[in-house]
Amino acid sequence: MRYTFAMAIIDDIYANVDDFGLVTSAEAKEFGIPNTELVQQERRGKLVRVARGVYRMPVWPHQEAAPYAIAVKAAGEGAYLWGESVVALLGLTPTDPTRIWVASPRRIRRDVGQGVTVLGMRQGESTTHYEGVRCQRAADAIRAAAPRLGRERAHEAAETAQHEGYITSGEMDDLREELS
């Protein structure tokens, strides 16, 4: 079997994608692959452009958290899932599936995808990873989502989060007090 230069490049990309089969132009550049090569791989059907500067391997299995991962990747370095979207990702209470909230320490002027809202946040907020996606911590996300969810649904989400192990008893006590 003959290997071509194009096969070696797609192998390098495949070796460096994240858990969702995603790679950004900036990440590819770090391991020596220029943006023009990503475009060529897309034309050949080896990659699918899912957002500006974000590509997905089409052979990667679909995951329910993929739209959230794409939104965070499209928002760029330092971005994370925020508020109601963290609640939705964790399945804590029903939310609007057409909206994805992402926070970023940088100003984002470009379109990051339909239904994605990017909020400017200061750097240093405590984040973690849920389902492989960088997110606001669950207790903070419930707190941030409470005005949109309503007190009753936010309290329901907090109870589910505690039961699932996403928040501690102390965080639950604080949320109970804040939501009452």
DSSP letter for each residue of 100-153: EEEEESS---S---TTEEEEE--TT--EEEETTEEEE-HHHHHHHHHHHH-HHH
For the cut 60, the answer to whether the pLDDT of residue 3 exceeds it is: no
The chain-wide mean pLDDT, for the chain, equals: 89
Check: CB of residue 9 under 8 Å from CB of residue 37: yes
Check: CB of residue 136 under 8 Å from CB of residue 151: no
Rg (CA), the chain: 19
User: Which one, of 9, 20, 5, lies nearest residue 57 by Cα?
Assistant: 20
CA distance 82 to 44: 35
User: How, if at all, do strands 100-104 and 116-120 pair?
Assistant: parallel
Phi-psi region of 6 (alpha: psi -120 to 50; beta: other; left: phi over 0): alpha
Q: pLDDT tier at 125 (50, 70, 90 boundaries)? A: confident
pLDDT tens across 7-44, in order?
A: 678 888 888 888 899 999 999 999 889 999 999 999 99
For the cut 70, the answer to whether the pLDDT of residue 131 exceeds it is: yes
pTM given for the model: 0.86
